[in-house]
């Protein structure tokens, strides 16, 4: 039991990521409201951003900025003293992607609202069935 507790506590960042992933996935699958689904999608993406950010950090390390660098031997670089900046920089791109996805999704949601007057998926489905009798599709 103790070993399980240490297993969870020492790797708490991964547990947080997985819990967030599952919350996002749950919202996307189980919620009927399209905006809630979009929020779920955003949580899902944010969880992965969190994963990358957490693997780049290091306890007791500092920012990867070299003061008075080049030519000053007193400030030689020790990789061990610095946080790995690469995952963080990658996530700047991923954040941009996730914002763009959110924008596209919300724009589509606005179009859907203008078209059907609701964002509840079951109500939209009913309206589709009314307008297209014989349509057997259940998703989208």
The token pair that represents 25 in the structure block: 């996935």
Tokens 């061990």 belong to residue = 80
Smallest separation (angstroms) from another protein to the CB of 4: 19
Which one of residues 16, 23, 28, 61 is an interface residue with another protein (CB under 8 A)? 28
Question: How many residues of this chain interact with another protein, rule: CB under 8 A?
Answer: 32
Residue 83: what are its φ and ψ, rounded to 5°?
A: -75, 140
CA 119 to CA 132: how far, in whole Å?
Answer: 19
Within residues 97-116, the interface with another protein by CB under 8 A covers 97, 100-101, 104-105, 107-109, 111-112, 115
The span of 5-13, 33-41, 60-68, 70-78 binding another protein (CB under 8 A) equals 33-41
Tally: H helices and E strands in the chain: 5, 0
Smallest separation (angstroms) from another protein to the CB of 21: 8
Which one of residues 16, 23, 48, 61 is an interface residue with another protein (CB under 8 A)? 48
Q: Closest Cα partner for 98 from 40, 20, 18, 16?
A: 40
Compute CA distances 34 → 7, 10, 31, 100, 114, whole Å. 37, 37, 8, 17, 13
Q: Assess contact for 113 and 42: CB atoms under 8 A.
A: no
If the CB atoms of residues 77 and 107 are measured against another protein, the closer one turns out to be 107
Residues near another protein (CB under 8 A) are: 25, 28, 34, 37, 41, 44-45, 48, 51-52, 55, 87, 90, 93-94, 97, 100-101, 104-105, 107-109, 111-112, 115, 124, 128, 134, 137, 139-140
């Amino acid at each position: 039991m103790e070993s399980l507790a240490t297993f969870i506590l020492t790797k708490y960042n991964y547990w947080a990521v997985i819990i967030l992933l599952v919350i996002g996935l749950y919202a996307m699958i189980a919620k009927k409201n399209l905006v809630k689904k979009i929020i779920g999608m955003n949580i899902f993406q944010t969880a992965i951003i969190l994963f990358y950010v957490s693997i780049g950090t290091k306890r007791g390390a500092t920012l990867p900025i070299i003061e008075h660098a080049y030519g000053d031997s007193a400030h030689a670089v020790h990789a061990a003293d610095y946080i790995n900046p690469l995952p963080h920089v990658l996530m700047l791109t991923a954040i941009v992607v996730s914002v763009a996805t959110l924008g596209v999704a919300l724009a589509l949601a606005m179009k859907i609202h203008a078209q059907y007057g609701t964002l509840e998926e079951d109500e939209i489905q009913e309206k589709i069935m009314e307008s297209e009798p014989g349509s057997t599709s259940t998703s989208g």
